Structure 1
Amino acid sequence: MSIMVMSRMFKASLGSSSRKIMAVRLADFADDEGRGIWPTVARLARETELSERTVQRILADFVAEGLLVVVQEASGKPGQATRYDFDLAAIARLGQDRHTGDVMSPVAGALTGDTMTETGDTDDEDGCHHDTRTVIEPPVEPSLEREGASASANGEENSRSVIRKFDKWWPSYPDYAGTSRDAALKEWFALTADERADCIARTPAFIKATKDAKGSFVYPSVYLKERKWTLLDDPRSDVAPAAMYNPFSRAWMALRLAELSKPMTSEGWPAPSAFQRTLMRDADKAAEIKRERRARYGWPKVTAMDAKVENRFGAFVPGPLLVVSEGFQKMHRDSAEAAAWKALHERMGWPWLPATGHEWLYFPAGQPEEAMAEFQALVKGETHEAAV
């Protein structure tokens, strides 16, 4: 217990009785250096007769205002609370903010006549052993309201407004309840007003995109510190919306190979025509017709991509495939490398690229079989949606 710190808290103007009693109770835990404060929220609520929600809010306010410093976050284990220290310089500034007025007025405000006798309850003429004097002061504006007025004049948000916005955003983040609110609030205050507004507006889209990509969520404090919602603007990220890419570009070729890597579908195939059925009586013709039908109907998204090429319509490619495509090798359509890839397509029963006169192609570097296996390993488990 620090009588010195408690005394300063009693004299400081903290804006409300709830804030005052919290500051005094915290000072009761501190040493004379303001250190060693680690009561649980439940204990503070019980001993101050405030709700746990109010205790959490006031603690967050004190941290945001610099009055308290977080020394060690709570571990999450029962009974292990966050450890705080007071910032004695901040406490001293609280004292400097007070209007000092007529600090030499007597205890009861009465020096009677020429006798210099006081009417207060004192043991000498200075009153209360020189320790206490009555200070007549005008009402003092609460510190947060003063801060808010100053911030508003400068076009900035005050602490209360920032915390209110945090409390609206905080429950929207997945699994927030099992993480440190203090750590997240600290990073929230480190953002600019524009960044906080952007975070609030774009977090729902980030959450949806992450779930769609079957990704995992970092702690809220990390999300805020690294400004993860800005990944929505990076076309290479997992959560960015798919972007349109031209036919035969690296990204377009990567999407086409990714779709061919999926199992062939047997749904939606039209029945063979009467003429085809006649031809299929011959075994060789039957095998040829089956290959043609497989290539045409087995991968409908690839067929749709190829059909759009003549009109120079591209496809939407997700960020992860864009990253993989950066390692693709450029080759001429008439080159030996392109011929090797065409041969692989024929062996796999895949449709070859449409003949549009486009000279340059892109495929994974290396021999087609090994390169394709490596490519498939990289994109395994991803979802690739073509613009169909």
Structure 2
Amino acid sequence: MSHEATMWAVKVRGISCAEARVLWHLADCHNPIYGCYPKQDYLADACEIDERSVRRSLVALREKGLVNWIEQREGKNRKANRYSLAFERGFRPHSCENEPDNLSASNASSTGQNEGFEPDISDSLNRTPESSIEPVREPVIEPVRERGCARELPEEGDAAIVEDRKRIERDFKAWYRTWPTSLADSEKAARDAWSALSREERAACIERTPAYISAVNANKGKFTFSSVYLRGKAWEKLDDPKSDVALPSVHNPFSKAWMAGMLAQLLKPAATAMPVPTKYQQLQLAQGGEAAEAVRLDRSQKYGWPRVNTMHQRAFDRQGVTVPAPLARISESFVQVHRDAEAAKRWKQAFDRRGWPWLPNTGHEWFFFPPGEPEEALSEFAAATARERGDDDAA
């Protein structure tokens, strides 16, 4: 087998599937020193078609200027034709339209006819095997030195290899259009990186790239070049909970990550759309004083942060919530605080000052908070979340 021949054959376009099979097996039988001498019955068996289809394909390939052949004889006995391929230096395409094709059984007038081709220019194409050397009639195994190419060759050489390469190119073009930096990238570098991936890696890339793009956008991150993304198989980072693009995951009520998710929601501005106060509440608000403050605190805790209230309701059913990976990373430094501890009382006072809803009594005795006193801890937590988002004014 000539590696150069097979790589040339799989890149040929504009031929039928049967022709592609025949051409690939011709290339597979090509030897750069001794030439190419496969028999038609071998080609028919390898291509899984009949010999008549092999002959039709050979004639079509010759008419398209891709192959040519010279009949070999020993006296009156025919031997396997010697085929030359268009990629070889000095290849001379067939030019006589009415000349017999020299393929046995192709037609009555041509059977046994000795083709009168002029010698090819390249001496290597005219070298006849010495009598002591068996001509190449079946593939000669040659080690494949390039890792990427070895992946692209199927176990059985047939037209599937042509379709496989077409599918790889179609998949690449479809994927490349979705990459955010494609307009400024090197498409060639990206295509080379794509070709170096295995079939399974390409499938994973296609499936997981949308999630990767969403994760980077959610974290206000920057996209790398497409070729760098492909070579590094960056979509695999989605499975690493500590990576910058890890997918959000569900965390149990009152766990570290759950508490971080709740605090992140509470740090957002309170909702302004609230139900109209009852007449009694309106009267208390109008009177002012402690009664009015109590009404405002109650309304704020009930309606100011609806997502947090939903988290609390789900906690009664022991249902967790989805927390982004950056918040989960920040929460790793949280410290455990018992519900009845003095630290928990200070945290409740901090919540009340802000009008935040306090943790529901679901039977949990331990909570997690950022380390330090509530005011300083909340300030540090807010700065950390801003840094994760990439805010310009992050402390």
Bucket of the pairwise TM-score, normalised by the shorter protein: 0.5 to 0.7
Match of 2:279 in 1: 274
Select which of 185, 196, 200 maps to 2:202: 196
Query: What letter matches 2:32 in structure 1?
Result: G
Displacement, 1:157?
6.7
CA distance in 2, matches of 1:285, 1:132: 104
Aligned partners of 1:148 and 1:157 also within 8 Å: no
Q: Tell me the TM-score normalised to structure 1 length.
A: 0.59
Flag the 1:341–1:167 CA change in 2: closer, same or farther, 3 A: same
Tell me if the contact between 2:37 and 2:137 (Cα under 8 Å) persists in the aligned partners.
Answer: no
Per the alignment, residue 303 of structure 2 pairs with 297
Decide which of 164, 172, 176 is 1:170's aligned counterpart.
176
299-308 or 238-247, which moves further after superposition? 238-247
Counterpart of 2:318 in structure 1: which amino acid? R
Give the deviation of 1:213 after TM superposition. 4.0
Alignment gaps of 5+ in structure 2: 14-29, 39-71, 73-118, 129-134, 390-395
Please report how far the alpha carbon of residue 171 of structure 1 lies from its aligned counterpart in structure 2 after TM superposition.
2.8
- Kept in 2, the 8 Å contact 1:331–1:360? The answer is yes
Matched letter for residue 246 of structure 1: N
RMSD over aligned Cα atoms? 4.4
Confirm whether residue 152 of structure 1 aligns to residue 89 of structure 2.
no
Matching residue's letter, 1:292: D
CA–CA separation in structure 1 for the residues paired with 2:380 and 2:34 = 68
1:95 to 32, 47, 59: 32
Task: Give the whole-Å Cα distance in 2 for the aligned partners of 1:204 and 1:14.
Answer: 36
Please say if residues 157 and 193 of structure 1, whose CA atoms lie closer than 8 Å, have aligned partners that are also in contact. Answer: no
Letter of the structure 1 residue corresponding to residue 235 of structure 2:
W
Q: CA offsets per residue over residues 229-264 of structure 1, 9 Å max, x none?
A: 223333444544432211111111001100111112
Worse overlay, 199-208 or 256-265: 199-208
The answer (yes or no) to whether the contact 1:13–1:98 under 8 Å persists in 2 is no
Cα-to-partner distance string for 1:82-119 (whole Å, 9 max, x where unaligned): xxxxxxxxxxx983584489xxxxxxx9xxxxxxxxxx
TM-score with structure 2 setting the length:
0.58
**Cα deviations by residue, 1:288-346 (Å, 9 ceiling, x for unpaired):** 21122122221121122122222222221111111111111112111222222122212
Cα 1:361/1:315, change in 2 over 3 Å: same
Per the alignment, residue 325 of structure 2 pairs with 319
Q: Aligned partners of 1:216, 1:291: CA distance in 2, in Å?
A: 41
Q: 1:274 to 1:170 in 2, by over 3 A?
A: closer
Q: 1:283 to 1:343 in 2, by over 3 A?
A: closer
Take 2:34 and 2:384, find their aligned partners in 1: how far apart are those partners? 62
- In 2, distance between residues paired with 1:315 and 1:369? 26
**CA distance in 2: counterparts of 1:227 and 1:138, whole angstroms:** 42
Say yes or no: does 1:331 pair with 2:337: yes
Match of 2:43? none
Distance 2:379 2:300 in 1: 21
Decide which of 221, 231, 236 is 1:230's aligned counterpart. 236
CA contact (8 A) 2:262 2:308 kept: yes
Query: What is the rounded CA distance, in whole Å, between the counterparts of 1:149 and 1:221 in structure 2?
Result: 19
Verify the 8 A CA contact 1:238 1:318 in the aligned structure 2: no
Shift of 1:168: 3.8
State the distance in 2 between where 1:263 and 1:255 align.
15
Q: Note the residue ranges of structure 1 that are not aligned, 5 or more in a row.
A: 1-11, 21-53, 55-92, 102-108, 110-126, 384-388
Letter in 2 for 1:273: T
Moved more, 161-170 or 191-200: 161-170
- 2:254 is aligned with 1:248: yes
Q: How does 1:64-79 map to 2 (within 5 A)?
A: none
Is the Cα contact below 8 Å between 1:235 and 1:318 reproduced in 2?
A: no
| Native 8 Å contact 2:350 2:375 kept in 1 | yes
Structure 2 counterpart of 1:376, which letter? A
